[in-house]
Structure 1
Amino acid sequence: MSVSTSVPDEGVTVVTVDHPPVNALPVRGWFALADAVRAAGRDPATRCVVLAAEGRGFSAGVDLKELQRDSGHAALIGANRGCSAAFSAVYACEVPVVAAVQGFCLGGGIGLVGNADAIVASEDATFGLPELDRGALGAATHLARLVPQHLMRALYYTARTATAAELHAHGSVWRVVGRAGLREAALGLAREIARKDGTLLRFAKAAINGIDPVDVHRSYRFEQGFTFEANLSGLADRIRDDFGTRGEGGA
């Protein structure tokens, strides 16, 4: 599991997730990501953070196999807290966060990009919450920041995905580019942001968060309560086991 940090340009910090095969993060991965984003935002030299990933897709969410290996609830509690920490770190990052999204962006990936300040996506990027197919609930809070309310509900109930082009049409994706140009497009936006005064950018981020109509921290934690209830009842285990027999591993 790897979460790395680099500084390709003055004022721009890139936090990259690389956890093959599908960037489905275990508990420690979510906390490592949260720590990296927080550290980047606290660095006075940073004026914009780019959140990126290596591999076929941006994120397949939570590592379901880790949950299935745990006979109790420690892994579930850890995943709930880890996701909450990572999502909060992106939202509360002291400077703007640009998400660079390729391939699949599912489950926990939606929590990350839904809390970012801007999204640049490759043409093959798809966004969705397959939670109901995987014995979980959550991140409707963040999907609602990407698409209109009724579309969010339809996507959530069906576990379908939306394309980068569709999200661009809804105004939540800044640019859609070829995969080969994704990193450079995200860095280009980050450089433009980073040319602004660093102190004023931090004021701007705090001000925009302060007028947000939805408390994303509280609403996501409310959703997580239903995830835990589904697990206590045994329902989530039955759905995950069925999903696991099909040979897939993220959420």
Structure 2
Amino acid sequence: MFREELHEDGILEIVIDRPPVNAFSIGLLHDLAVRLGRVAGEAEVRTVVLRADGRGFCGGGDVKEVEALPGFEGILGQSSGSMTLSLAVLQCAVPVIAGIHNYCVGVGALVAGSADIIVASRGTRFVMAEIDNGATAGAVQALKLMPEKRVRAAMMTADPVLAEELHALGTIYRLVETAEAVAAEARAVASRVASKSPQAMRRLKTSLGNTTKAHEMMALYRAEMSYTYELNILGEASAGRTAFIEGKRGSYAD
């Protein structure tokens, strides 16, 4: 579901490839988190580029998988997996550059919010669609992408926030013209970062407070998830996911 390549300059490029829309399964969330965690013991890695092939960066969590699993196994796995991956990006021992193209939905936006630097293509849609899927989590990472009032509007309406707006806010570092240009630009930015002293860069990443922020995020995320679990117990969440699966609600990755 993803491939990786370690370039000569110390860039570890991780490319998500899960057609048709790069929906993140529970297994993918887990495997990406584990891979990022291993970077701490890999001195040859100086920076990570996390991007995707295909139609867009991330179509959200795999709703069909969540509904297919028995009991609450699906929502528990998806929610805890999203939190774990977000924290793995935040706590990665080296800077993580996220290359985003076309769309970045749900957990994709959480991952982008945890990355150190974002490169995106014009017109990319960042969507916090949790309200339509019986979920409440996401504000913790979304606040790293945009101001509080903008987060509220984005989460309450589930309307897309365009990359151009986030670039104007300073959240997106590089805005490129086409989706095809994202990979090259992300590697160029990563190369600039990788050219610095690797020991100094790892210490800089730590000094920016990522470990402290991770503890704060975990507590806040657990509080957010409690309301998501309530909605699932009530059956409200399943109804929203079923409407999506049956085609009564369009995909944000269209």
> Gaps (5+ residues) in structure 1?
none
Q: Which residue of 2 aligns with 1:232?
A: 233
- Name the count of aligned residue pairs: 250
Is 2:203 aligned against 1:184? Answer: no
Matches within 5 A, 1:131-210: 131-177=130-176, 178-210=178-210
Give the Cα–Cα distance (whole angstroms) in 2 for the partners of residues 136 and 104 of structure 1: 19
Mapped contact 2:87–2:214 kept (Cα < 8 A): no
* Residue 213 of structure 1: how far off its partner (Å): 10
Instruction: State the match for 2:105 in structure 1.
Output: 106
Deviates more, 1:108-117 or 1:37-46: 37-46
The alpha-carbon deviation at position 9 of structure 1 amounts to 3.7
Is the contact made by 2:90 and 2:214 (CA closer than 8 Å) also made in structure 1? no
What SS does the corresponding residue of 1:215 show, helix, strand or coil? helix
SS at match of 1:45: coil
Aligned to 1:223: 224
1:26 aligns with 2:25: yes
Q: What RMSD over aligned residues (CA atoms) do the two structures have, in Å? A: 1.9
One-letter amino acid of the structure 2 residue matched with residue 130 of structure 1: A
Post-superposition Cα deviations, 1:3-22, rounded to whole Å, max 9, x if no partner, equal 22111341110111110011
Q: 1:42 to 1:111 in 2, by over 3 A?
A: farther
Q: Could you tell me which amino acid in structure 1 is paired with residue 18 of structure 2?
A: H
- d(CA) in 2 for partners of 1:176, 1:75: 35
Shift of 1:144: 0.9
Identity rate of aligned residues, in percent? 32
Which residue type is aligned with residue 207 of structure 2? A
Q: Deviations over 1:56-102 (max 9, x none)?
A: 11001210001111230112111122111111110000111000000
2-side partners of 1:79 and 1:180: how far apart? 29
Change (3 A) 1:111 1:192: same
Q: Give SS of 1:201's match.
A: helix
Aligned pairs for 1:121-132 (under 5 A) are 121-132=120-131
User: TM-score of the superposition, structure 1-length normalised?
Assistant: 0.94
**Taking structure 2 as the reference length, what is the TM-score of the superposition?**
0.93
